[in-house]
Amino acid sequence: MTADALIVGAGIVGAACAAELAARGMQVEVLDSHGIGGGATAAGMGHIVVMNDSPAEFALSAYSRDLWLELAPQLRERDAFSRCGTLWVAADDEEWQAARAMHDAFAARGVAAQLLDSAALRAAEPALAPDMAGGLRIGHDSIVYAPTAAEWLLTQSPHAMNIRVRLGTPVSAVDAQSVTQASGERRCAAHVIVANGIGAQALVPSLPLQPKKGHLLITDRYPGLIRHQLLELGYIKSAHHATGTSVAFNAQPRPTGQVLIGSSRQFDTTDPAVEMPVLAQMLQRAARYLPALPTLNGIRAWTGFRAATPDGLPLIGRMDAGVKGATGVWLAVGHEGLGVTTSLATAKLLAAQITGDATAIPFEPYLPQRFTEGVMHV
């Protein structure tokens, strides 16, 4: 045995799992084919947001957001944690009614939220189009620069001395107690955890994961242009229920003064190239909400791939004998666009299952067994 736990993947989810297992006294080894915080972690927005698409999604995201708020004072300036809040924007009366319903649902679950009528919305975000109907502000939602946060978890967190990171180490196969590197070297541990996002498909082909391609664009520095993470209320529908190419307005104020613009979703490609028609459609959508956007200088655009499951919930737990392939391997994958948000809660749930401890929220909704033999049990 080279460690108590071997983790494949040094993104935000793998890093969070490593830090949590190390805090429980385990010797942890993390392997990644590239570097810390790459893949979807580097490609995403780093938004820490409570989502309410289903009770299980709400439970996981709300629990994890609280964990981030507890962790934030330990992070460094370079990790760019900011409690900027999320402002869900209603473009018309129908979406305003949706905002009211969302407010009531959050209030019933103890999540602080504030309804803003059209005048209050203009006061909060003057750059928004003046014909917006209103909005819903979630004040404790936050942002973080996920690649450096992953590096902090692996190298600076309180029990990082129990973590060894091996980069440039591609893995070609896994089983319950070992990983085989592409070089042929085999490393053994009491527990093997696969946490490398869409790359998990190559190690466990039976996983019900689908890549969702997304585009982002970042502007030059325009300090104070927007103050909150801004999302259109149509985003929820677009994020989880669209089947072709779709776009939705999503804008984030970076601590640098830059504005990060999203978002798009594509299911029909694994080509990482920036696609100008999709990018143009995304920016046109954003300009409907931020009329000044066409006058800004965009300096870089890129893409990434989210690992999505059929029900929109991650796979957190051990693959049992009834699941084809890699029986006994632990999984922490399939977080789609909520990997940063839910990374800390994922680590808590996974570590508790490994050690037999109680969990703060039920872990059953995220178990891989719900997809046994291609049948979804939810």
Burial class (CB in 10 A: 0-12, 13-18, 19+), 243: exposed
CA angle, 309 then 312 then 315, to 5°: 55
Residue 119: strand, helix, or coil = helix
Cis status, amide bond into 263, omega within 30 of 0: yes
Per-residue pLDDT in tens (0 to 9) along the chain, 378 residues? 789 999 999 999 999 999 999 999 999 999 999 999 999 999 999 999 999 999 999 999 999 999 999 999 999 999 999 999 999 999 999 999 999 999 999 999 999 999 999 999 999 999 999 999 999 999 999 999 999 999 999 999 999 999 999 999 999 999 999 999 999 999 999 999 999 999 999 999 989 999 999 999 999 999 999 999 999 998 765 554 556 789 999 999 999 999 999 999 999 899 999 999 999 999 999 999 999 999 999 999 999 999 999 999 999 999 986 555 588 999 999 999 999 999 999 999 999 999 999 999 999 999 999 986 544 443
Do 32 and 196 contact (CB within 8 A), yes or no? yes
Within the chain, which residue ranges are assigned CATH 3.50.50.60?
A: 3-46+146-208+311-374
Paired tokens of 63:
């629990």
For the four alpha carbons of 308, 310, 311 and 314, in that order, the dihedral sign comes to: negative
Q: Is the dihedral of CA 287, 217, 281, 99 positive or negative?
A: negative
CATH 3.30.9.10 boundaries in the chain: 83-141+210-308
Cβ-based burial of 255 (10 A; exposed 0-12, middle 13-18, buried ≥19)? middle
Decide if 317 contacts 323 (C-beta within 8 A).
Answer: no
Q: Which fold has domain 3-46+146-208+311-374?
A: FAD/NAD(P)-binding domain (3.50.50)
In the three-class reduction of DSSP (H, G, I as helix; E, B as strand; rest coil), residue 224 is classed as: coil
Look up the CATH superfamily of 83-141+210-308.
Answer: D-Amino Acid Oxidase, subunit A, domain 2 (3.30.9.10)
At 310, is the secondary structure helix, strand, or coil?
coil
Among 7, 12, 13, 2, which Cα is nearest to 333's? Answer: 13
Distance of CA 242 to the CA centre of its chain: 18
